[in-house]
Amino acid sequence: MAIGGLIATLQNFKYYIQMSVFLPVAEIFHSIQGESTRAGRPCAFIRLAGCNLDCRWCDTRYANGEPGRELSIDMILAAIRPFGAKLAEITGGEPLLHRNTPALAARLAREGHEVLVETNGSLDISLLPYPVARVLDFKPPSSGQSHRNRFENLVHLRRGDEVKIVIADRRDYEWAREILRDDAFPRELVETLFSPVMDRLPPSELVSWILRDKLPVRVNLQLHKVIWPDRERGV
């Protein structure tokens, strides 16, 4: 085979491989970032379908109950490009259930996006490449899933990552406080966010506990639920 023909064949094979990398997508939408230290910023959201946990306070159960659409990485990028958003988040469900999530995150970063991946804390976050920022969502007792936390992930946290704990009651708060005070927790490296369960724990009560204990955390309210209180999807 001539060199030109061989190059064309290799290019076609590379394109085929790229197009064959699919992920199950529950929804893609353009909104503001409702949580994390990036709250308030325009963001392209890629919500993947499927989850390995069954958290009591889950507010995106539809992402686990539906199979999602199988989209290639190129198709996903084409869908978010019109948004013009520098910030992009891969969420779920649980995005690390899917072996192609690291490839999607890396591709988004190469395309110039600031990339967040929000994960439920039960799977290995070290698979996600730099400079992707990981939002690690540890599960307290009220979630019913605290036994699924992968505490080995603490050693994989790096500057720019965040730890989020959704708190429903005083027991959850005390559990989270002890996690934060543990010597293994990288307090100087990552931002820690305590988020009250909507309609369960008044934010003022959570704030009073944090101030009383002088905890170095950020209170994380779900801004999208304040702006669109009656919408479940696409926000």
DSSP 49: P
- 204 located within any domain: yes
pLDDT, residue 157, reads 96
Residue 51 forms part of a structural domain: yes
Considering the domain boundaries, does residue 7 fall inside one?
no
Concatenated DSSP letters for 104-136? HHHHHHHTT-EEEEEE-SSS-GGGSPTTPEEEE
Please give the helix or strand (H or E) that residue 22 lies within, else none.
strand 22-32
Number of domains in the chain: 1
Q: What is the pLDDT of residue 20?
A: 62
**What tokens does 146 get?**
């605290």
188-216 confidence digits (pLDDT tens): 899 999 999 988 999 999 999 999 999 99
Between CA 137 and CA 125 the distance in angstroms is 11
Q: Which residues of 191-215 are buried (b: 16+ CB within 10 A; e: fewer)?
A: bbbbbbbbeebeeeebeebbeeeeb
Residue 102 belongs to some domain of the structure: yes
Low-confidence ranges of the chain (pLDDT < 70): 1-20
The domain containing residue 148 runs over which residues? 22-227
Domain assignment present for 233? no
Q: Which residues of 123-132 are buried (b: 16+ CB within 10 A; e: fewer)?
A: bebeebeeeb
The CATH code of the domain that includes 34 is 3.20.20.70
Nearest to 127 by CA among 98, 90, 100, 102: 102
Give this prediction's pTM. 0.89
CA dist 216 and 192 (Å) reads 8
pLDDT value, residue 15: 40
- Please indicate, yes or no, if residue 235 is contained in any of the structural domains: no
Query: What DSSP character marks residue 162?
Result: E
Task: Output the six-digit token pair for 52.
Answer: 């390995």
